[in-house]
Chain A
């Protein structure tokens, strides 16, 4: 099946990573050393290895067969494309940043050519010829049509697999968070995207999701174990700070997922509930700038107060507005979200009652102290140092666990079914005896209180609360537009989707500083592309999955079509 001529080039890509690509260390990552890969060269190296593995699996080498269950060539092409895109991105980035191709050492040229060859080789691989050029080309990037049923494996092996996948996932994720400069992060994104695409076309992602479906609670436990393990892998508290912010963002997105993903209520002012929680916690946690500066609740009481305040606001806002449907609800919630920010801005004792200190906000919120464990100080646990943000990160993992539990349990129950029924067809749902208003109000209030809960922690993490972050759209998350984007991008109605979406949407503006003032534009384009090519989001819902398995797809497009492939390459290169 595989063209024998192409195989030698694939390790060549990997090998070229060991050469010097440029003469100066001015390009970040120091790519000047022969014999050892650095920075972006690691990515090229990984891509080369992956391509080689897929090529060998294409030969049918024993022990690698599982990589290509359907025996199709698309994964090989896509990994080669990933390597090509990463390498050429690096080479072009070197040339652009240092001013010309002269800055490339021979190693850089070799890498560029070496990464191009497997791509051409993969293109030469025999495909089923149909006489239709378009379908012929599509075969290189399309998912295998017939994926043979996996041979059943023992439960312990399934669990072992999940463990391995979790560890690999943690490694990949940690690498992404720890990328030190924008170029490396872009290269990382390119490589991860193409690799995931390749795994998808090979049918491996389907197999993984099937295994996960068998061991749902075990996977959840492993996921949390990985989440807890993250701060222990970090030496720098800065990355733990990124972690805790992603968690706050992700938790709020998961709360929004109840409202948007389950009940189908488009809420454009959701960040206000995060704000209510944060402000409430700030007011009652003993800050000297708080109006109630004498009040100092313990954390559990402050968290409950924050959640309760958000709940009350949720009911107050929901009760009059949830009689509206669709776009009207979106407009009203958008309005309420802005009202919250403006109201908080004005309650400074001059233009309104003195509650929130207006634009100055409430500063100097004391650090939490849980059971004598001061979260503001570094602690040494088993030789590993946990800094302040790592402490809050662990607290946030706990909060997220609660939210995930609430989400999964609520979704799989009578009330969750009625939310989905309302989303699917409100008229039919009410005709089936569901009190639409009541059920929607519960979803709205539950979503609000979960956001409030996350807000109470975020107030402590950031030392102070100010009105500015709680707006509809801004260049940094969380704001209502980003929250909604995280849910839609990640995959509505799933647990993993909004978390993944939140991680991506937090990391991209964080890592790509040059993008910051254009990030809204970039996300607009990204969302349009996503809606065109994968409307169900990155992580497909179980319902969508069922659709894939049972009788083929009816209205969900397969994956990307060829038309966007040049676009992706261009964006990467």
Chain B
């Protein structure tokens, strides 16, 4: 995914299997949400495809949802002036068919469908524990409940894969724990979950697998132990010794500092390699900026080398295989 000259996400190969909870972590600006937006069709990927249950999804949000991938948003995007129940009913949109004519004529089929939708929505509200607030306006709910309602709205579209964008942002520990249980309960319904999160305890408690995204590229993927042990991940979060090109004014000063610190840097060679390679692939990317032809297998191989991913398909792809 490129925005002009900036490559936000590149060569992220990612597979979510049925009944799995997968975490996606990374520092701010790593491209996690952009990756989500690519998956759900809000952004049209410059290159690559999204595959769900073996079919390639078109980059149209409503078709992606129809196919069975639902999402929530990082900054809550509820329909603020609709009631709680109506919000969930909107989520049912793709699973119902009544058009304008049936709404105007109000035949028995319409009433049946409306009733079924409402029952299903109420089930979901009970599932997340908001049934008693069905007639409240979404805007008047407290923050934590708005997050829950957004999940219920996403679940209403009967997804096989649920994408949660920072479901615990701004929550206190109790609410986070409740969300944790909610995600497990969703998984138990047979829905695969892919979530972006900054709360590491939450992620490592919850997720079967965790992938780390840094500067738009997948750094590492594996169980929580593997990820936690990886020192590149630690470096990505906590920073690493200074290595980039310094500004003109600072050049001399930095040179001095580097000379002084040269002895202490021996064990950081891994990171040095890493950064260089990211830079080089970016340049490569600019060179091969012609559409369609870019992201050639060799380039991906390049990236695959540097990020040491295990599977090497040739395109930016996500295979959500649920059920």
Contact = CB atoms under 8 A, between A and B. Distances in A.
Contacts of B65: 431-433
A446 B100 contact: yes
B73 interface: yes
Interface string A416-454: 111011001101111111111000001000100000000
Interface in B85-106: 86, 89-94, 96, 98-100, 102-104, 106
A314 to B, nearest CB: 13
A550 B140 contact: yes
Interface in B50-97: 61-62, 65-66, 70-71, 73, 77-83, 86, 89-94, 96
A410 B136 CA distance: 22
A430 B90 CA distance: 10
A435 B100 CA distance: 14
A432 B139 CA distance: 18
B231 interface: no
B61 A546 contact: no
A555 to B, nearest CB: 8
Nearest to B99: A415
A134 interface: no
Contacts, number: 114
Contacts of A420: 79, 81-82, 86
Nearest to A437: B62
A167 B96 CA distance: 43
B103 A424 contact: no
From DSSP, what is the main secondary structure of chain A's interface residues? helix
A434 B93 contact: yes
B103 A409 contact: yes
A417 B90 contact: yes
Given A543-B137, A551-B140, A431 B61 contact: yes
Contacts of A410: 100, 103-104
A547 B137 contact: yes
A432 B114 contact: no
Nearest to B86: A417
B103 A416 contact: yes
A442 B104 CA distance: 13
B62 A430 contact: yes
Given A432-B157, A433-B62, A415 B100 contact: yes
Interface string A387-425: 000000000000000000110011001111110110011
A414 B98 contact: yes
B96 A414 contact: yes
Nearest to A406: B104
B95 to A, nearest CB: 8
A428 B79 contact: yes
B153 interface: yes
Interface string B123-137: 000000000000111
B204 interface: no
A554 interface: yes
B42 interface: yes
A424 B66 contact: no
A421 B90 contact: yes
B157 A546 contact: no
A413 B82 contact: no
Contact of B104 (A409, A425, A427, A543): A409
Contacts of A434: 62, 90, 93
Given A414-B103, A433-B62, A428 B78 contact: yes
Contacts of B14: none
Interface residues of B, number: 43
Nearest to B61: A430
A125 to B, nearest CB: 34
Contacts of A554: 139-140
A469 B137 CA distance: 41
A424 B98 CA distance: 21
A546 B62 contact: no
Nearest to A434: B93
A442 B92 CA distance: 19
Interface string A538-573: 000001001100110010000000000000000000
A417, A429, A431, A550: which has the most chain B beta carbons within 10 Å?
A431
B110 interface: yes
Contacts of A428: 73, 77-79
A409 B153 CA distance: 23
Contacts of A546: 83, 135-137
B318 interface: no
Given A409-B104, A410-B103, A427-B42, A417 B140 contact: no
Nearest to A405: B104
A432 B91 contact: yes
Contacts of B168: none
Given A409-B106, A414-B98, A417-B90, A431 B140 contact: no
Given A428-B78, A431-B40, A413 B135 contact: no
B82 A543 contact: yes
Nearest to A436: B62
Interface in B162-182: none
A418 B79 CA distance: 10
A425 B100 CA distance: 21
Contacts of B77: 425, 427-428, 431
A555 B213 CA distance: 39
Contacts of A436: 62
A540 to B, nearest CB: 12
A546 B138 CA distance: 11
Contacts of A429: 79, 90
Given A429-B90, A550-B140, A417 B82 contact: yes
Contacts of B104: 405-406, 409-410
Contacts of A414: 89, 92-93, 96, 98-99, 103, 113-114, 117
10 contacts: A414-B96, A414-B114, A417-B89, A420-B81, A425-B78, A429-B79, A429-B90, A431-B42, A431-B77, A543-B81
Closest 10 CB pairs of A and B: A433-B94, A413-B103, A433-B65, A428-B77, A424-B79, A430-B61, A421-B90, A551-B140, A543-B81, A435-B62
Interface of B: 40, 42, 61-62, 65-66, 70-71, 73, 77-83, 86, 89-94, 96, 98-100, 102-104, 106, 110, 113-114, 117, 135-137, 139-140, 153-154, 157
Given A414-B93, A415-B99, 6 more contacts: A409-B104, A410-B104, A414-B113, A421-B82, A421-B93, A432-B90
